[in-house]
Amino acid sequence: MPTIPHIETHFRSSASVRDVVIGMADGLTVPFALAAGLSAVAASRVIVVAGLAEIAAGSIAMGLGGFLAARSDAEHYTSERQREEREIVERPNDERHEVLEILESYGLTRDQSAPILAAFEAKPKVWVDWMMRFELGLEEPDPRRALRSAMTIAGAYVAGGLIPLASYMLMSNALTALMYSVAATIVALAIFGYVKGRFTGAHPLRSSFQTTVIGGVAAAAAYLIAKLFS
């Protein structure tokens, strides 16, 4: 596989940022919202237990889920690549036609495409690389990505989830703890949204606002549901 270093770096770093964002967005929001919801009906002690159980469950589910998603991306790439390698041998005319079609969609005439096709036929591996990327839109996944992705997502979830829970650990009155939890989490969500915006190229203040609103809406919904069903 030919490597184009600056492209791979671009993909890799955005994948890690995405993992932190995935884990922390849910870690800051779901345990916060669950604790807020339970504040309507339970004591701090129960909320801390429920919150820690949720953090354990959520971080493991998301981390393992990320691990398997990354691994299945890798398997998908391998199986599609094997299919493409077979097709170039077994149905070369169909594959040639696909190359011409793709190049035509980018404005090349048959005459202009002919040397490219000739280059591909001389180097089947390059041809397969090209079809993977151009016909199927698939990048070769980094093999170490699965484990790193899992640890990043789970760690970010735990880090995020402990922030809203801290006040319940320190205060026995759930409604008092809720006020501190809301304050701490709003600050954390706003900072997280701002930093996320900086990394992903979105407008930081708008990102900060959006992240805080998600947390607030989820917490309000959880609170209402808990009130309704208790």
| Contact present, 184 and 191 (Cβ < 8 Å) | no
| Contact present, 207 and 193 (Cβ < 8 Å) | yes
Q: What is the 3-state secondary structure (H, E, C) of the chain?
A: CCCCHHHHHHHHHHHHHHHHHHHHHHHHHHHHHHHHHHHCCCCHHHHHHHHHHHHHHHHHHHHHHHHHHHHHHHHHHHHHHHHHHHHHHHCHHHHHHHHHHHHHHCCCCHHHHHHHHHHHHHCHHHHHHHHHHHCCCCCCCCCCHHHHHHHHHHHHHHHHHHHHHHHHHHCCCHHHHHHHHHHHHHHHHHHHHHHHHHHHCCCHHHHHHHHHHHHHHHHHHHHHHHHHHC
Q: How many residues bind its own copies (CB under 8 A)?
A: 83
Q: Which stretch binds its own copies (CB under 8 A): 86-94, 121-129, 140-148, 173-181?
A: 121-129
Query: Contact between 33 and its own copies (CB under 8 A)?
Result: yes
Query: Contact between 210 and its own copies (CB under 8 A)?
Result: yes
Nearest residue (CB) to its own copies, 78 versus 173: 78
Q: How far is the CB of 93 from its own copies (least distance, A)?
A: 18
CA distance 146 to 21: 16
Nearest residue (CB) to its own copies, 10 versus 144: 10
Q: Which of residues 190-209 bind its own copies (CB under 8 A)?
A: 200-202, 207
Q: Which of residues 47-106 bind its own copies (CB under 8 A)?
A: 48-50, 52-58, 60-62, 64-65, 68, 72, 75-76, 79, 101-102, 105-106
Q: How far is the CB of 112 from its own copies (least distance, A)?
A: 4
CA distance 122 to 208: 53
Query: Contact between 126 and its own copies (CB under 8 A)?
Result: yes
Instruction: Choose which of 15, 17, 136, 191 interacts with its own copies (CB under 8 A).
Output: 136
Q: Which of residues 164-193 bind its own copies (CB under 8 A)?
A: none
Instruction: Choose which of 19, 20, 29, 194 interacts with its own copies (CB under 8 A).
Output: 29
Q: How far is the CB of 176 from its own copies (least distance, A)?
A: 19
Q: How far is the CB of 29 from its own copies (least distance, A)?
A: 4
Instruction: Choose which of 42, 153, 174, 182 interacts with its own copies (CB under 8 A).
Output: 42
Instruction: Choose which of 108, 151, 166, 191 interacts with its own copies (CB under 8 A).
Output: 108
Q: How far is the CB of 89 from its own copies (least distance, A)?
A: 18
